[in-house]
Amino acid sequence: GQGVVITDVQQGAARRDTLPDGVRLTYDSLTDGQRVFKIGLTLEIRASGDAFTVTGSVTNEARGWLLTGFTGPVLNGIAADLADCPALIPEGYGKRVNRVPVPDEKQKEWQRLGNGYETGVVYPGARGTMQWFALAGREGGLYVGSHDPLHRAKRLSLRYDPSSKRFGMAVRHDFFCRSSENVAFPPVVIQPYAGSWHAAARLYRAWFDSVNKLRDVPEWARNASGWLLCILKQQNGEIMWPYTSLDKLCDVADARGLDILGLFGWAHGGHDHLYPDYHPCPEMGGAEALKKGLKEARRRGKRTIIYANGQLQEREATEFWRTVGKDIAITQRDGQTYQHTYHKYTNIPKYRFDLGCLYAQAWYDRMLALAMQANELGADGILYDQLAMMSPMACYGEGHGHPVPCMVHEVERPLFLRRIADHMRRINPEFIVMTEGLHDCALDAVSLFHGCELGMFYASSSEMLVRLRASRISDPFPELYRTVFPEVMSTVRVPAPMMDRDMVNYTCVYGLRYELESRYGPDVTYLLEGRVPDSADYVHVINKPDVAMMKATPPVEAARYMKEAIDFQRQNAAIFWHGRYVDNQGFTLTGRDLVAKGFAAGDTFGVAVWNPFQKDTPFTLEVPGYALFSASEPGRDRVEPLSPMPANTVRLLRWKRK
C-alpha cells in the first residue's frame, strides 16, 4: 500500500503531565491531516544537570497499518559556524564536516532536504560506527547520543536551513511495529559540554562502558603489527600461492615486519566464488599440504587467519544454496532477494550472490562450522568478511527466525558474532574472530578489524596537509573513533603489495596496524622478484592496484622503510600498541603543518610527531608535569628531541612523570 508520513505540525495539542524531573507528552491518536489513526505516542523529556534525556514509545492499534519508524528528537534553530564549530559524525573512523556547500558546488556530502540540506550516517555499519555526533567548538559544543544497548537501526542527521542559516540535529529510529504492538524508543541524550570535543567522546564512552564491554584479546593479537593479506587463488581460478608456498609468504612478511598472514581465496572456489563452500583445494595441494603450511607458518612466528565471507552465498552455484541458502536469503518486500555482484576480471562471468540472513539457524551453523574447520586446519583465527560493513535493512523472508518484516543487520549481528567467538574461545582461547569494516556493536566479539572504512584508506602527505587546512566540505577524522575506543585494533586498507612512506607514517602516528595485499599475479612477481608491474600487466583486472604508487618507490626501499617503522613501533609497543591514544590532549605543540598524537602509558607519555611536509620544520613541544627523556625515529634509536623535523619523517618523544 501507499506510505503515509505523519508529522508534528499535523497534530493537535498533546496531553502534558509534569514529572519530578521533566515532562511527559502524550498523543492518544495521530492524524495525517485527513485521517485519524489509532496510534498512541508518548514522549518523556527529563533533565539531569545540563543534560536532557528523551525517551518514549509508540503503540499501534491501527488495524492493517505497519509503523516503520520515528524521527525524534529533532533540534532546530542551532546557531553555529562550522568553520569554528565543525560537526563530528561517526562515519567510519570519523568525519569532520567543515562547511555547507556554496551555491552550485558539486559535492556528495550534503543531500537536499526540502529547501535545505542534510548529511548524516545510518547505524550500525561501516558508515555509522557509533551512536553519537556533536557540534564541536573550541571551548564547548553540543553532544547528541543515542544510548541504545541493543544497537538498533537509526540515522543520525545534521541539517542546515539556508534561509535562516541555522542548523538542526535529528535522530531517526527505524523499526517495524505491527498492529497491536508497542515499540519503546531508546534514550537520546542531549548535552552541552565545556572544553574540547574530547569531553563529548568521554560521555559516549562512559555510557558504552556501563552497558557493554570490549573483547579480551589474546596477547599475540595485541602484539601483532598487522598482516599480509594474500589471495591464494583468484576468482578466475588462477593459483598464485599454492599451500606449499606459505613459507615464501613468511619470507615476504618477515622482510616487512608483518606478523599475520591473512589467507583469502584459500578454498577450492577461489576468491569470491562458490561461497559459502570452503574446502581445501586439491590443485593447491589439498588439506594435508594446507595443514603443513599453517604449521610451518606458526613455527616461523607467524599467525594465520582463514577467510570466510560472513554473508555472501553464490546463487545457483552450491548444493547449500539450492537446498538451504535460497530459503534463508535476506528478502525484499517484493519477494526478490538482496543481491551483490563481484566481478574481478573482464574475461570471466559476473557472479551473483544472495545475503544469508543472520537470524537463520542454518546460516549460523554454517559459519560456526567454518570457524571450527579453520581451527582444525591449524589457523589462529577466522575473518568473516563484510560483517561490519552493511547498514541495516528490512527482511521479508519467512522462516528465518524473525518476525516478518524485520530490520536485520542490527540487534542480531553482535549476538551472531559473539556466539561464534565465545564458542571458539571455549575450544581454543587463542583463536580470534575478525571482520571487515567497523562498528561498536561488534567490540565484544571481534579482536581485530580489517579496515575498510573512512579514515583507514590511503592518506598521502598532501592529503594530510589538506586535512590540516580544513578547507573541504568534510575530511576524514580518524581521531574520533581512536579517542573513544583507543583499545580497538584495526588494520588500514591498502589494496596493493606495498605501502609508500606516506602511508607507513600515517599508520604509525595514529598507532594503527599495517596491511599489504597480494591480490593478482603481478603482485606475486613484485613481492618475490622485486619487479614493478605496468598497468598492462593487469590486463583483465577490473580494479587494478595503484601502479603509480608502486612505481614511485623502489621495492627494496618500500620494504625496508616499512620494516623500520614496524620495528620502531614494536620497540615502543608500550606506547603505540598498549598505550592509551589521547589525540592532541596533554601537550602543547607549536610548528606548522605537523601531525602530533599523544599516547599515555602509565608514568610515560609519548608524543608521535609526523612532518608530512617536504621540508624540515622547526617545532616546540611541552608536556606539563612530565620531563622529556628521549626521542627516536624509524631506523634511528637516538635523535635530538626538539631538533627540526626532517621532511616526511615520524619521531616519538618520550616523557616521564615528574
pLDDT tens-digit map of 109-141: 999 999 999 999 999 999 999 999 999 999 999
Q: Is residue 188 a contact partner of residue 155, using CB atoms and an 8 Å limit?
A: no
DSSP-derived 3-state class of residue 329: strand
Cα–chain center distance at 331: 25
pLDDT confidence tier of residue 103, bands split at 50, 70 and 90: confident
Quick one: three-class SS letters along 344-365? CECCCCCEEEEEECCCCHHHHH
The DSSP line for 564-614 is: HHHHHHHHTHHHHTTSEEEETTT-EEE-TT-EEEEEEETTEEEEEEEE-SS
The DSSP line for 264-294 is: ES-BTT-TTSSTT---B-GGGTHHHHHHHHH
| Gyration radius of the chain's alpha carbons | 26
For the cut 80, the answer to whether the pLDDT of residue 304 exceeds it is yes
Helices (H) and strands (E) in the chain, counts: 14, 36
Q: Which is nearest to 575 in space by CA: 637, 494, 509, 641?
A: 509
The reported pLDDT for the residue numbered 34 is 93
Residue carrying C-alpha cell 536485520: 408
Q: Is residue 63 a contact partner of residue 49, using CB atoms and an 8 Å limit?
A: no
User: H or E element: which one contains 260?
Assistant: strand 260-264
The DSSP line for 151-196 is: ---EEEEEEEETTTTEEEEEEEEEEEE-TTEEEEEEEEEEEEEESS
Burial of 336 (0-12, 13-18, 19+ CB in 10 A): exposed
Cα–Cα distance, 157 to 172 (Å, whole number): 8
Q: Is residue 354 a contact partner of residue 348, using CB atoms and an 8 Å limit?
A: no
User: H or E element: which one contains 77?
Assistant: strand 67-78
Look up residue 581 and give its amino acid.
Answer: Y
Cα–chain center distance at 263: 21
For the cut 90, the answer to whether the pLDDT of residue 159 exceeds it is yes
Q: Which is nearest to 261 in space by CA: 228, 221, 289?
A: 228
What is the reported pTM?
A: 0.97
Burial of 5 (0-12, 13-18, 19+ CB in 10 A): exposed
- pLDDT tens track for 528-552: 999 999 999 999 999 999 999 999 9
- pLDDT tens track for 452-505: 999 999 999 999 999 999 999 999 999 999 999 999 999 999 999 999 999 999
